[in-house]
């Protein structure tokens, strides 16, 4: 039995592939919990970052610097009255948020946080991801229809039309990345090394192809990979219904779009699903174009020293966060009223610092490094999401469709064809 447990740890594959049910379950729990926690953290970060974009403070009252605000919100949402409109189709109404949640969480099955840190590695990983994420349209359509009200219906129609059309552009970008796995040419700028690889749809395979070719696909065939990544980055914002493509939820037009009639827990499931989907698509972008779990410059800055330097990053990051927390402690008003908050912030900083120190321990360091770089890259995309939201006005629906079909799709097809040509010629 113990052997069964430890056998996986010494293997170099994902628990799903190893057929190790126990570790698969553990990984599922870790990923599910991790995603949920990151959604909470993301919620806080978004509110804080957005607030600072907008010269506000954001949440400040619940906990030091509002750190406990998401938890307070979660409790509020869970205890809120759950209203189902009398005219609604109750079964579909209740099913819709669950479908969205399932669809956005199922994508995490194939996301590789590291060469061994994935629930499983499907042979059709990227195809699976596209398919499952397209299922969330279903939840939105169901929610809009089941509410039996005008605004949700229009929101649902907009949303499904939007998601279906941007999926096409997204697919084109993804296909050009998949194509790159099998093309060993170097492109006009000669970045990376040429190897003869066979194409793969597996997420881990795609990252390994980037490793073999010594190049992030972002820089392969130089402008092409970049453009494809750009198309994906735009399409994924539209796909997750976020600003500036947040038409389904355009509050100034459709109050709250497809989830107008939802409240309490069900509404929070929508939000959970939305943020999980945001992180899922960002992870896919990272996997396809930004070298997945690899640290920056794995090929140019090689050698033991550099390995050590880069392996210190996770711990240093957490120590930095702890330092920020302690700066916050120092800047806290010295007043009895803030004592509890100050102590809380000290505790938070201490926890962060301890995690940071723990990350310096070599065995942990080596295991956690991949996950750290992966998450850091995803965090970059998440910051982009917030940035977009603070900066852009909202597109109008016809303009959105125009961008999707007349701009992104032709460019996507062009990039795909050029990639194929370059791959064959070079």
Q: By CB under 8 A, name the binding residues for other proteins.
A: 3-4, 7, 10-11, 13, 16-21, 50, 53-56, 87, 89, 91-92, 95, 120, 122-124, 127-128, 130-132, 134-135, 137-138, 141-142, 145, 148-150, 153-154, 157, 160, 164, 167, 198-199, 201, 243-244, 246-247, 250-253, 255, 389-399
Q: Are 424 and 416 in contact (CB under 8 A)?
A: no
The whole-angstrom separation of Cα 258 and Cα 143 is 6
- Could you tell me the smallest distance in angstroms from the CB atom of residue 55 to other proteins? 6
- Could you tell me the smallest distance in angstroms from the CB atom of residue 229 to other proteins? 20
Between 120 and 341, name the residue whose CB sits nearer to other proteins: 120
Between 260 and 283, name the residue whose CB sits nearer to other proteins: 260
- Could you tell me the smallest distance in angstroms from the CB atom of residue 124 to other proteins? 4
Between 182 and 302, name the residue whose CB sits nearer to other proteins: 182
- Could you tell me the smallest distance in angstroms from the CB atom of residue 7 to other proteins? 5
Between 2 and 330, name the residue whose CB sits nearer to other proteins: 2
**Residues sharing a CB contact under 8 Å with residue 347, sequence separation 6 or more, in sequence order:** none
Q: Token pair of 78, please?
A: 């869970």
Between 179 and 285, name the residue whose CB sits nearer to other proteins: 179
- Could you tell me the smallest distance in angstroms from the CB atom of residue 18 to other proteins? 5
- Could you tell me the smallest distance in angstroms from the CB atom of residue 291 to other proteins? 22
The whole-angstrom separation of Cα 27 and Cα 8 is 12
Q: Are 206 and 181 in contact (CB under 8 A)?
A: yes
- Could you tell me the smallest distance in angstroms from the CB atom of residue 347 to other proteins? 32
Between 137 and 286, name the residue whose CB sits nearer to other proteins: 137
Between 98 and 332, name the residue whose CB sits nearer to other proteins: 98
């Amino acid at each position: 039995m113990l052997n069964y447990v430890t056998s996986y740890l010494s293997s170099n594959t994902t628990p799903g592939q190893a057929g190790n049910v126990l570790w698969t379950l553990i990984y599922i729990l870790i990923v599910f919990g991790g995603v949920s926690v990151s959604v909470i953290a993301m919620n806080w970060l978004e509110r804080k970052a957005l607030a600072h974009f907008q010269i506000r403070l954001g949440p400040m009252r619940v906990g030091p610097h509002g750190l406990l605000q998401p938890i307070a919100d979660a409790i509020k949402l869970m205890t809120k009255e759950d209203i189902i409109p009398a005219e609604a189709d109750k079964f579909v109404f209740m099913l819709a948020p669950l479908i969205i949640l399932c669809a956005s969480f199922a994508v995490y099955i194939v996301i590789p946080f590291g060469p061994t840190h994935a629930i499983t590695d499907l042979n059709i990983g990227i195809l699976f991801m596209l398919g499952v994420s397209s299922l969330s349209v279903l939840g939105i359509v169901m929610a809009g229809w089941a509410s039996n009200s005008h605004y949700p219906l229009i929101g649902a129609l907009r949303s499904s039309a939007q998601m279906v059309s941007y999926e096409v552009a997204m697919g084109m970008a993804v296909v050009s990345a998949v194509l790159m796995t099998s093309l060993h040419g170097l492109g006009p700028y000669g970045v990376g090394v040429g190897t003869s690889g066979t194409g793969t749809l597996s997420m881990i395979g795609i990252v390994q192809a980037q490793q073999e070719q010594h190049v992030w696909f972002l820089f392969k065939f130089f402008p092409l990979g970049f453009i494809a990544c750009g198309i994906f980055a735009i399409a994924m914002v539209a796909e997750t219904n976020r600003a500036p493509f947040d038409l389904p939820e355009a509050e100034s037009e459709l109050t709250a779009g497809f989830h107008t009639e939802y409240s309490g827990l069900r509404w929070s499931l929508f939000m959970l699903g939305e943020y999980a989907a945001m992180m899922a698509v960002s992870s896919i972008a990272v996997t396809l174009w930004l070298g997945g779990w690899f640290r920056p410059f794995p090929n140019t800055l090689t050698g033991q020293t550099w390995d050590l330097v880069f392996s210190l990053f996770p711990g240093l990051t957490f120590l930095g966060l702890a330092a920020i927390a302690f700066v916050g402690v120092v800047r806290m008003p010295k007043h009895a009223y803030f004592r509890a908050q100050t102590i809380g912030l000290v505790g938070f900083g201490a926890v962060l610092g301890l995690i940071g120190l723990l990350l310096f321990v070599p065995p942990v360091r080596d295991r956690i490094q991949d996950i750290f770089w992966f998450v850091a890259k995803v965090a970059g995309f998440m910051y982009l999401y917030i940035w977009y939201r603070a900066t852009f006005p909202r597109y109008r629906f016809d303009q959105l469709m125009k961008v999707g079909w007349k701009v992104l799709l032709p460019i996507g097809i062009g990039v795909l064809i050029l990639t194929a040509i370059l791959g064959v010629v070079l």
